[in-house]
Amino acid sequence: MDVPSATPWWLLVVSLPTEGATARMRIWRALKSLGCMALRDGAYLLPGDGEREQALQELADECIREGGNAWLMAVQPRSADEANAYRQLFDRSDDYAELRKTWKQANRGLSAMAPTELARLQRKLQREYDAVRSIDFFPGEARMEADAAWTDFCKRVDTLLSPDEPHETQGRVPRLDIDQYQGRVWATRRRLWVDRVASAWLIRRFIDRDARFRWLAKPSDCPKSALGFDFDGAAFTHVGDRVTFETLMASFALEDDAALARLAAMVHQLDVGGEPVPEATGFEAVMAGARERLPDDDALLAEMSTVLDSLYAHFGREATRAKT
């Protein structure tokens, strides 16, 4: 017999008193969130893993505290065929298909949604997708197809939130003389979003305090005398893995400012993804709400500049504390 040498699986067998409906529902929900597969009423299987063992043991202890019984056992498939049968129990293809159906339906109404609704919907669907991915112990083709579909959906949302988003360009970022960039007209796409509003704040706060801004209906409307930013062909845009905010920092020797670096990480995550930044979700929510309330980009920049000023002060204080 071909006996596999894989890590054992965990089998939790539980029984609760019939009057313990609340505890039964609570434990059932916990088992579902862990990704357990019910073999029969009261018998739940989960692939072997130290953290999963601990989580199941905690549920077993809770069952006993509620007056029930619980047995947690390590089980081993007796053959390769049996191991494959175990794995098939955890096929998440139907879950991914349901998610993709939901995304397809949502996509039909995206263009009619306000920015706040778009951001809220995207976060909700992201949580649902993450929940399935967290219990997809044996990812396969369905996972890859879902990843591609989710990427396409997010690009559609990003396009609606920020039309004409610039493409990445290659090359080095030259160091510029800030004295040559004073009292200038700076231009970017109207209906500001994260990278553009943060870049405009950075320009006025650290580069050109007398900057005047022009908000463009489309990039081709940019006057030749203006300094364009955050669109294809602009003087300042995405370069390599830098978003426009980071390109401006590099261009004008601002990268050593620890507080600005923290802001840059937040802008980068919200614009193109990357390492999570704790403050990003809150900033995005404030930005979406302000964008909904204020159709005028000058007013939007003024309001979000106050938020960015506060974040900059907060990050600066944390950087000072870290040094002491």
Angle formed by the axes of helices 297-323 and 280-293, nearest 10°:
160
What does the domain layout of the chain look like in residue ranges? Answer: 9-88, 93-161, 178-323
Distance CA 48, CA 200 (A): 51
Distance CA 215, CA 209 (A): 18
Q: For the beta carbon of residue 127, count every other beta carbon within 10 angstroms.
A: 9
Please tell me the pTM assigned to this model: 0.57
Confidence of residue 85 (pLDDT cuts 50, 70, 90): very high
Q: What is the pLDDT of residue 168?
A: 59
Residue pLDDT, tens place only, 260-299: 999 999 999 888 877 888 999 899 999 989 998 998 999 9
Distance CA 128, CA 100 (A): 11
Q: Going by C-beta distance under 8 Å and a sequence separation of 6 or more, which residues neighbour residue 224? A: none
Single-letter amino acid code for the residue at 305: S
Residue pLDDT, tens place only, 129-178: 999 999 999 999 999 999 988 988 887 887 787 766 676 566 789 999 99
CATH number of 9-88: 3.30.70.240
E-assigned strand segments in the chain: 9-15, 37-40, 43-46, 69-75, 185-189, 212-216, 227-228
Mean pLDDT across the chain, nearest whole number? 90
